[in-house]
Structure 1
């Protein structure tokens, strides 16, 4: 194989290592898209180099026969971008040269809570992107998709127009909520216990009856006197 082929292979391997280290969703999407671009370029280069190789001298011309159909393998896509309007959630999937294949090879299988994008026989390969457990339900009949230059855009029609999606899937929202709750718990653990007690007493004083207010005032006064006595003794 050529030097360029080896360079592309090395770039893909290094990007895959970076993808394992990436934690933010946006960064993972960017790295995944770049990996797919380089893989597509690598495949095209490999096919070009193989077709340019001269036939072996020992080969004997044979009568032309219909070639056996080339076996394709499926590539599962993970990275995508998304945006939304009042009526649609738009999913952006980058695939080089996808605009060059017939429309019937690009299609979606939809349910009210999932989408599965298929791109068949794009430069000898099949691609599929599956998104399950959508955050909100969609209208299957009015959802649609379009081929653009190096990209497919899927328009998922919202059952509830004008409702903004905070996340693409329920699983992403659950994970994000757990992450936020963990930080709230950590913040509470860091609070001064004395500050928490004072806040509790203040609330009791403001909401309590006259007897409760008298008892709290007395306790506070005695506490202040004790502090003064301890200071004098020192």
Structure 2
């Protein structure tokens, strides 16, 4: 009777391990791992009890539970994206290689009237997030949606006020542009080197701005450097 039960438990453990390899969601993986450990404990007790009363025999070692722990995934924060608009939608384009191969439940957005967060889970052992706060205008969460395309996710943010053109994606970007334009119009600007005025303005806004402002300034500085390099090549 003991030998039959030992064999049955071993078969159960093997089958649960096979299911664990196929499981995608963390909660399911954790539940299966706990059940495997319970059966392993019971299996070991029965095996040891049986071996004490019979002639020792060769037994295949059970896999250690450490091998069953899901591999830790890397967290990646995205900054780069493109955007366009129609009368009804703001369209956000996020490039991610092989994202089209993921199940739909692993690619989703968290939306509010003034923010969007794209979440991509377990893409080649990495979790990606893109957070855009303080959108320039409010969006209609219920009418917004997203699609997976080849190596890209496109988010359709429904405008709460259709037909209104957005000049910028976020309030931060507009604020930065307005401050820069106001600085250019000041009397002091004519007395200073334009490049020096721009750098002074960006430095001041970077030091006093929040994380989103700092990200936008870094992006603007990088794009400016790239344009300067390109212009130099064609001289």
Counterpart for residue 95 of structure 1: 96
Distance 1:140 1:189, change over 3 A: same
Counterpart for residue 170 of structure 1: 171
Is 1:184 aligned to 2:181, yes or no? no
SS of the residue corresponding to residue 121 of structure 1 reads coil
Contact 2:183–2:189, Cα closer than 8 Å, also in 1:
no
Alignment deviations for residues 78-100 of structure 1 (CA, whole Å, 9 cap, x no partner): 00000000000000000000000
Counterpart for residue 215 of structure 1: none
Alignment deviations for residues 72-119 of structure 1 (CA, whole Å, 9 cap, x no partner): 121000000000000000000000000001000000000000000000
Counterpart for residue 126 of structure 2: 125
Q: Could you tell me how far apart the structure 2 residues matched to 1:187 and 1:99 are?
A: 52
Aligned pairs for 1:140-159 (under 5 A) are 140-159=141-160
Counterpart for residue 104 of structure 1: 105
Counterpart for residue 24 of structure 1: none
Aligned pairs for 1:79-90 (under 5 A) are 79-90=80-91
Gaps of 5+ in 1: 1-60, 191-234
Counterpart for residue 77 of structure 1: 78
Distance 1:100 1:185, change over 3 A: same
- What's the TM-score once normalised by structure 2's chain length? 0.53
Q: Could you tell me how far apart the structure 2 residues matched to 1:186 and 1:146 are?
A: 49
Counterpart for residue 135 of structure 2: 134
SS of the residue corresponding to residue 141 of structure 2 reads strand
Gaps of 5+ in 2: 1-59, 192-235
C-alpha deviation, 1:122, in angstroms: 0.3
C-alpha deviation, 1:143, in angstroms: 0.2
C-alpha deviation, 1:189, in angstroms: 4.8
Q: Could you tell me how far apart the structure 2 residues matched to 1:62 and 1:103 are?
A: 39
Q: Could you tell me how far apart the structure 1 residues matched to 2:184 and 2:78 are?
A: 32
Q: Which structure has the greater CA radius of gyration?
A: 1
SS of the residue corresponding to residue 122 of structure 1 reads coil
Q: Could you tell me how far apart the structure 2 residues matched to 1:188 and 1:120 are?
A: 48
Counterpart for residue 68 of structure 1: 69
Q: Could you tell me how far apart the structure 2 residues matched to 1:184 and 1:133 are?
A: 27
Counterpart for residue 114 of structure 1: 115
| CA RMSD in angstroms, aligned pairs only | 1.8
